[in-house]
Structure 1
Amino acid sequence: MTQVFFHCSNTRKVFLDHHGAVVRDIAEAREHATRLVQSFTNERTLEDWRDWVMHVNDDQGDELFVVPFTFVLGRSH
């Protein structure tokens, strides 16, 4: 089990995750990241999420992987 943090950014803004989540392995961290991206993008806002990226870091601050929101959203037509 390890603590991971899910920070989001684009070229104008950064949202830092100060709480994180405890996950069993990298696969669970990826599933959690995908659910978080879906949660953000399902909110009714004027935000265009296509240029956002989620950075998943371990408790030492090392980046484990990134999830571009377009990976979850798909490309616009």
Structure 2
Amino acid sequence: MFHLYFHCAGPGELLIDRQGAEVLDLIEARDRALTLARTFVEKAYGTRDFADWHVYVSDDDDDEVLLIPFSDVMPTIH
């Protein structure tokens, strides 16, 4: 079990996760980060550009564990 923090960052903005969450492994941490990014994109779809945003997942020492770009969950045009 790991205690990780899921911060969101974009150009000129940083949203800090001060509580964090317990996850079993990096797969669960990645899934949680993708869900967080997806929630932001869905709630502000069409009103905000998240192309340069990412979820920065860190441990208690603020060491980067994962970096998930919001673009991984953004709709694509075919």
TM bin (shorter chain): 0.7 to 0.9
Change (3 A) 1:18 1:62: same
Task: State the aligned residue count.
Answer: 77
- CA distance in 1: counterparts of 2:67 and 2:6, whole angstroms: 9
Question: Root-mean-square deviation (CA), in Å?
Answer: 1.7
Structure 1 SS opposite 2:39: helix
Counterparts in 2 of 1:30-45, with a 5 A limit?
30-44=30-44
Higher helix share: 1
Q: Distance in 2 between matches of 1:44 and 1:33?
A: 17
Runs (5+) with no aligned partner, structure 1: none
Name structure 2 gaps, 5 residues minimum. none
Q: Distance in 1 between matches of 2:25 and 2:59?
A: 11
Aligned to 1:27: 27
1:70 and 1:60 map into 2 onto residues whose CA distance is: 27
TM superposition shift of 1:74: 4.7
- Aligned residue in 1 for 2:5: 5
Q: Distance in 2 between matches of 1:28 and 1:13?
A: 25
Which residue in the other structure is 2:65 paired with? 64
Runs (4 or more) in structure 1 with deviation over 4 Å come to: 74-77
Q: Percent sequence identity over matched residues?
A: 35
TM-score by length of 2: 0.87
CA distance in 2: counterparts of 1:76 and 1:53, whole angstroms = 20
**TM-score when scaled to structure 1?**
0.88
